[in-house]
């Protein structure tokens, strides 16, 4: 555990967390909606600092990031908890667990692992990274110094303060919309009061130079309204630009929403059609291996410039400076295509259980820390 930086002190021992847009106001002993940011003695602590739940090496296309250093390998890691409560979450065993435990790993060790496994970057994913922003920051700053890039897979439900902190180390982000950002859907199935903070965070990330790709999980029957998909696409064109990639992802039944079928492919294709009609140039269908809309097409000549199947790149038709080999048009690529795209298997198991010990924060430790902090605060004047 470590004292957080994303918070402000309020009267009467309360604090306001500024990591996510909920801005939880917490009394002494309370923890935020995420379950991992606690007020102990009038100070906010990130209780899962240096405690990870999962770690692996995988292709950057899995995030998905198709236009940022395509073909690269990333070390992906997570903690526990989330700022949302999605009833359809496929990582619910990580995101919806409110536990103060994990494999104990330092930022230095994570960067060392990334280098040892030949990864070109570090990705903070599987659960919402903004809730463990201080840990991501410490890893990310060190990773960048060692020549590695940093990416988030995030719901984007962040404050300006959080975006300001991430801008010090983050290179790219996949921002995950659900159900076309329809407010009614998000309120009922993710317990998100209002999607507006996501749009504000996107504007701030864009302004601060973070490379952005957008995903939209299309949930059949309850989160597949084409009019909202059109509104989302139009907003992206007007505010982030028509070169911003968007991925319409196929839902599969999981967690509490296991009663719905997978998203019909036709529905995904209709969403893609709407996005193209609104002017988006790079539109994808995700979680459908072999679909033609896994490929990147040149917006000018229509030829395939990156051919994919699943997370694999099969063919690259780009010049060194990111132009279409057929017509010379510039393609929106952040960084460059990495030579590792030719590697047959870009997945790697990281035996974290052999490299670290699994620790749990006990109630006794929390109470001991809270009493120590309270004494310091009372005597600090």
Compute the distance between CA of residue 72 and CA of residue 213 in angstroms, rounded to an integer: 16
Note the pLDDT tens digit of each residue in 341-366.
Answer: 999 999 999 999 988 999 988 777 77
How far, in whole angstroms, is CA 248 from its chain's centroid?
16
Note the pLDDT tens digit of each residue in 273-311.
Answer: 999 999 999 999 999 999 999 999 999 999 999 999 999
- The per-residue pLDDT for 365 is 76
Query: Is there a contact between 6 and 165 (Cβ–Cβ < 8 Å)?
Result: yes
Instruction: Name the CATH superfamily, with its identifier, for domain 56-70+82-89+151-345.
Output: pyruvate-formate lyase- activating enzyme (3.80.30.10)
| Bridge partners (DSSP) listed for residue 313 | 308
Note the pLDDT tens digit of each residue in 165-199.
Answer: 999 999 999 999 999 999 999 999 999 999 999 99
At 373, the pLDDT band (50, 70, 90 cuts) reads low
All residues at 6 or more sequence positions from 145 whose CB lies less than 8 Å from its CB, including other chains: none
Mean pLDDT (whole number) for 126-144:
98
At 320, the pLDDT band (50, 70, 90 cuts) reads very high
Q: Mapping DSSP to helix (H, G, I), strand (E, B) and coil, where does residue 152 land?
A: strand
What share of the chain has pLDDT > 70, as a percent?
97
Cis peptide before 77 (omega within 30 of 0): no
Compute the distance between CA of residue 48 and CA of residue 1 in angstroms, rounded to an integer: 6
- The per-residue pLDDT for 368 is 76
Compute the distance between CA of residue 323 and CA of residue 312 in angstroms, rounded to an integer: 21
Compute the distance between CA of residue 153 and CA of residue 125 in angstroms, rounded to an integer: 5
What share of the chain has pLDDT > 90, as a percent?
92
Q: Using the 8-state DSSP alphabet, how is residue 3 labeled?
A: E
Compute the distance between CA of residue 353 and CA of residue 233 in angstroms, rounded to an integer: 43
Domain ranges of the chain: 2-47+360-378, 56-70+82-89+151-345
Place of tokens 């902190």: 165
Note the pLDDT tens digit of each residue in 6-29.
Answer: 999 999 999 999 999 999 999 999
Compute the distance between CA of residue 362 and CA of residue 360 in angstroms, rounded to an integer: 6
| Bridge partners (DSSP) listed for residue 105 | none
> How many other CB atoms are found less than 10 A from the CB of residue 362?
11
Using the CB atoms, write b or e for 271-303: b if 16+ within 10 Å. bbebbeebebbbbbbbbbeebebbbbbbbeeee
> How many other CB atoms are found less than 10 A from the CB of residue 135?
25
Check pLDDT > 70 for residue 216. Answer: yes
- The per-residue pLDDT for 27 is 96
Alpha-carbon distance values, 308 to 66, 91, 190, 210, 329 (Å): 10, 25, 31, 25, 20
Compute the distance between CA of residue 97 and CA of residue 81 in angstroms, rounded to an integer: 6
Note the pTM of the prediction, 2 decimals: 0.94
Compute the distance between CA of residue 299 and CA of residue 210 in angstroms, rounded to an integer: 23
Cα end-to-end distance, the chain, whole Å: 25
How far, in whole angstroms, is CA 112 from its chain's centroid?
22
Compute the distance between CA of residue 52 and CA of residue 101 in angstroms, rounded to an integer: 8
Counting every residue written for the chain, the total comes to 381
Mean pLDDT (whole number) for 126-132:
98
Compute the distance between CA of residue 80 and CA of residue 28 in angstroms, rounded to an integer: 22
At 378, the pLDDT band (50, 70, 90 cuts) reads very low
Query: Is there a contact between 189 and 257 (Cβ–Cβ < 8 Å)?
Result: yes
- The per-residue pLDDT for 379 is 35
Strands, E, within 231-303: which ranges? 246-250, 283-286, 296-297
Check pLDDT > 60 for residue 380. Answer: no
Q: What is the DSSP string of 153-174?
A: EE---B-HHHHHHHTTT--EEE
The most distant pair of C-alpha atoms in the chain lies apart, rounded to whole Å, by: 71
């Amino acid at each position: 555990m470590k004292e957080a930086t994303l918070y402000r002190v309020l009267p009467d021992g309360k604090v306001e967390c500024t990591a996510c847009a909920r801005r939880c106001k917490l009394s002494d002993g309370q923890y935020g909606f995420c379950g991992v940011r606690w007020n102990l003695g009038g100070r906010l602590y990130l209780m899962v600092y240096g405690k990870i739940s999962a770690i692996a090496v995988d292709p950057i296309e899995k995030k998905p990031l198709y236009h940022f250093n395509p073909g690269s390998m990333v070390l992906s890691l997570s903690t526990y908890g989330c700022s949302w409560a999605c009833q359809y979450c496929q990582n619910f065993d990580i995101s919806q667990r409110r536990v103060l435990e994990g494999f104990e790993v330092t930022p230095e060790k994570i960067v060392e692992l990334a280098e040892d496994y030949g990864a070109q970057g570090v990705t903070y994913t599987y659960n919402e990274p903004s809730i463990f922003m201080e840990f991501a920051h410490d890893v990310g700053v060190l990773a960048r110094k060692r020549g590695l890039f940093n990416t988030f897979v995030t719901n984007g439900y962040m404050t300006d303060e959080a975006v300001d902190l991430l801008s010090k180390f983050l290179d790219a982000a996949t921002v995950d919309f659900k159900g076309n950002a329809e407010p009614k859907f998000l309120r009922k199935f993710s317990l998100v009061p209002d999607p507006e903070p996501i749009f504000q965070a996107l504007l701030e990330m864009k302004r601060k130079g973070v490379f952005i790709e957008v995903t939209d999980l299309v949930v059949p029957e309850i989160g597949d309204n084409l009019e909202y998909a059109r509104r989302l696409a139009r907003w992206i064109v007007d505010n982030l630009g028509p070169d911003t990639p968007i991925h319409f992802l196929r839902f599969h039944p999981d967690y509490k929403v296991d009663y719905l079928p997978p998203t019909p492919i036709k529905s995904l294709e209709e969403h893609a059609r709407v996005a193209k009609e609104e002017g988006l140039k790079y539109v994808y269908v995700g979680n459908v291996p072999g679909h033609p809309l896994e490929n990147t097409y040149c917006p000018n000549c229509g030829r395939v410039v990156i051919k994919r199947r699943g997370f694999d790149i099969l063919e690259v038709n780009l010049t060194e400076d990111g132009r279409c080999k057929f017509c010379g048009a510039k393609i929106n690529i952040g960084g460059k295509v990495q030579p590792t795209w030719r590697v047959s298997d870009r997945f790697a198991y990281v035996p974290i259980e052999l490299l670290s010990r699994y620790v749990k924060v006990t109630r006794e430790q929390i109470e001991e820390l809270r009493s120590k902090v309270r004494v310091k605060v009372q005597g600090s004047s």
